[in-house]
Amino acid sequence: MTDASGGAIALRAGNTRVDLVCTGASIQRVFTPDNDGRCDDIVLGYDDESSYQTNPFYFGCIVGRVANRIKDGRFSLNSRTYQLETNNGTNHLHGGPAGLHTRVWTPTEVTDTSVTFVYLSLDGEEGYPGTVAFSVRYTLEAIAQDSSPGSSTRHPSFDMLKVEMRGHVLSDTISTPIALAGHTYWCVLEPTRRCFMVPDDAVAHAPSRALTHQEPQGA
């Protein structure tokens, strides 16, 4: 439900709380306990929603219409070439400078454990053809893991955040590329000390080369 203190929409289930903001339909905070019962925020995000209007690191947001890069901001579809807005040198990145991550989405169907954000992207937005109705639904579920029949082992319960993203083109004659992505940075705590693990330049060697992408693999 809406948190009047900060404008975020808070979902609660089990031992977890997820805070979401309308700009970029973004995950702002996820508070959940670790194995020792200590609760902390495990995602990177901004304290205030206004920071999500620029969000150069794409913290927690939905990116698109097309996530990742499109070379030179140009693509061809159905014998026509489209020029997109560029924001990564000459390339188009994560939907462009005013992509879905900067747009204010409308929350609907808000409950204590779920919310659906909707946004209507008009024809020509950031250079893309066609009007598209986008939606993203966040659902927080507490999953109880009961012991198996005849077994004395009880599996621990856990909380699950489900994210469902959809894009519907509002035309039978216009096609457009859609490749959405949730751009949340999940922070895993080290088991021996209370600090976030930060990548460094050390190279760890896997015990087996199978499926580690160290050598070309067939698909």
CATH number at residue 102: 2.70.98.10
pLDDT at residue 159 greater than cutoff 60: yes
Instruction: Flag whether 123 is in a domain.
Output: yes
Task: Identify the CA nearest to 9 among candidates 139, 121, 110.
Answer: 110
Instruction: Flag whether 141 is in a domain.
Output: yes
Report H helices in the chain.
Answer: none
**What secondary structure letter does DSSP report for 114?**
E
Q: How many domains does the chain have?
A: 1
Spacing of C-alpha 110 from chain mean position: 18
Q: Which residue shows structure tokens 């159905």?
A: 78
Contact (Cβ atoms closer than 8 angstroms) between residue 161 and residue 140: yes
Segment among 37-46, 105-114, 170-179, 197-206 with least mean pLDDT: 197-206
End-to-end CA distance of the chain: 44
Of 155 and 45, more confident: 45
Query: Percentage of residues in the chain with pLDDT exceeding 90?
Result: 69
What whole-number distance in Å separates Cα of residue 75 and Cα of residue 175?
A: 12
pLDDT at site 211: 47
Instruction: Flag whether 110 is in a domain.
Output: yes
Segment among 9-18, 163-172, 181-190 with least mean pLDDT: 181-190
pLDDT at site 47: 92
Mean pLDDT of the chain: 85
Instruction: Flag whether 213 is in a domain.
Output: no
pLDDT at residue 10 greater than cutoff 90: yes
Task: Identify the CA nearest to 146 among candidates 135, 136, 158, 138.
Answer: 158
Domain that holds residue 68: 9-183
Instruction: Flag whether 96 is in a domain.
Output: yes
Instruction: State pLDDT tens for residues 49-67.
Output: 999 999 999 999 999 999 9
Contact (Cβ atoms closer than 8 angstroms) between residue 62 and residue 165: yes
Instruction: Flag whether 201 is in a domain.
Output: no
pLDDT at residue 172 greater than cutoff 80: yes
Of 56 and 152, more confident: 56
What whole-number distance in Å separates Cα of residue 81 and Cα of residue 31?
A: 45
What's this model's pTM, rounded to 2 decimal places?
0.80
Across the range 132-143, mean pLDDT stands at: 96
What whole-number distance in Å separates Cα of residue 139 and Cα of residue 70?
A: 31
Instruction: State pLDDT tens for residues 177-202.
Output: 999 999 999 986 554 444 444 445 55
> Which backbone phi and psi does 96 adopt, to 5 degrees?
95, 175
> Which backbone phi and psi does 5 adopt, to 5 degrees?
-70, -35
Instruction: Flag whether 196 is in a domain.
Output: no
Contact (Cβ atoms closer than 8 angstroms) between residue 159 and residue 149: no
Instruction: Flag whether 203 is in a domain.
Output: no
